[in-house]
């Protein structure tokens, strides 16, 4: 008699059916496991809104998690009940919500950006330059594919960005030559992989079944490939994935310290700086919104509060005396 699949295996299967990322899969499975353990390993079918409320309140009051973390846990449990168990969860109301602080993003000045980039080299320099010069998110940069860079039009097509949206942003002219050089090395590495019997790359949404030759085509290869082959955690196929984001994160942190900056800057700070500097230059906020890929202009509006013009652009009375 065939054994019924375990709950977490059902969760993984449903997540893959809906083409969620491996990161989302690991996150959701982790939260569902914590939820079950919190309630003494009871099966979720035996529980409901009251147990979900208790778990979310525990995260806020006892674990002191951030609002975004609590929301992520809630999303995982909603997915479990709605998409895996097929159960309509009652309204979850009596939850102590983690407080979401209102903070302005850290932004570097142009001189500070130059100082940070001056302490980077090679691939780390090129990736950090793209984060600032094109306003890319870190994962958008590491997942960039050769076919999505248009040198003639000076454009980068960001595929499947946050919210599963595509967008177009600029390719800085100063990065054309180093990026072309980077791609030539990538193409050579791809030829070596193919000669060794590998050379395939992961494609989203089952495109590899629809276009069997696509994984081996040059255009689909990552601009920033990993230095070694690895085993795909889902398909168990050995191939070359994109470079890990941790390397450039560590390099930028080290560069920030070497530049002597006191600001808690990171890779994402370069994207914040991109938006702020465009607004300082005089570009309208709708243009910046489109380049960043924000769904709501109110998200982009946050950068108007950190423009380098003093407090709300008001001149201090001390300077008028």
Catalytic residues: 137, 162, 268, 271, 294, 303
Tokens standing for residue 34: 């914590």
Alpha carbons 321 and 319: distance in angstroms, whole number: 6
Is 152 in contact with 141 (CB distance < 8 Å)? Answer: no
Alpha carbons 191 and 169: distance in angstroms, whole number: 29
Alpha carbons 251 and 222: distance in angstroms, whole number: 20
Alpha carbons 190 and 224: distance in angstroms, whole number: 11
Is 4 in contact with 45 (CB distance < 8 Å)? Answer: no
Question: In degrees to the nearest 10, what's the CA dihedral of 180, 189, 215, 161?
Answer: -50
Alpha carbons 91 and 53: distance in angstroms, whole number: 10
Is 222 in contact with 186 (CB distance < 8 Å)? Answer: yes
């Amino acid at each position: 008699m065939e054994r019924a699949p375990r709950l977490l295996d059902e969760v993984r299967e449903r997540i893959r059916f809906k083409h969620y990322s491996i990161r989302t899969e690991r996150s959701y499975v982790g939260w569902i496991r914590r939820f079950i353990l919190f309630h003494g390993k009871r099966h979720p079918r035996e529980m409901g809104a009251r147990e979900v409320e208790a778990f979310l309140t525990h995260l806020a009051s006892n674990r002191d998690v951030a609002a975004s973390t609590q929301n992520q846990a809630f999303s995982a449990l909603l997915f479990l009940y709605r998409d895996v168990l097929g159960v309509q969860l009652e309204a979850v109301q009596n939850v102590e919500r983690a407080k979401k602080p209102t903070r302005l993003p850290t932004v570097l000045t142009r001189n500070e950006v130059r100082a940070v980039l001056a302490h980077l080299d090679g691939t780390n320099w090129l990736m950090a330059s793209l984060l600032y010069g094109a306003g890319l998110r870190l994962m958008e940069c590491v997942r960039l594919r050769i076919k999505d860079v248009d040198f003639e039009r000076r454009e980068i097509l960001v595929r499947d960005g946050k919210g599963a949206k595509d967008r177009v942003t600029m390719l800085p002219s100063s990065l054309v030559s180093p990026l072309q050089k980077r791609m030539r090395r990538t193409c050579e590495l791809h030829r070596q992989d193919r000669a060794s019997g590998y050379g395939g790359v992961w494609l989203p949404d089952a495109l590899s079944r629809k276009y069997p030759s696509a994984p081996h085509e040059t255009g689909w290869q990552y601009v920033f490939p990993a230095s070694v082959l690895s085993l795909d955690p889902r398909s168990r196929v050995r191939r070359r994935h994109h470079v890990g984001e941790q390397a450039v994160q560590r390099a930028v942190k080290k560069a920030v310290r070497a530049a002597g900056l006191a600001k808690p800057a990171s890779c994402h700070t370069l994207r914040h700086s991109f938006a702020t500097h465009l607004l300082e230059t005089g570009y309208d906020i709708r243009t910046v919104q489109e380049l960043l890929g924000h769904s709501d202009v109110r998200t982009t509006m946050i950068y108007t509060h950190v423009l380098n013009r003093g407090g709300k652009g008001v001149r201090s009375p001390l300077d008028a005396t």
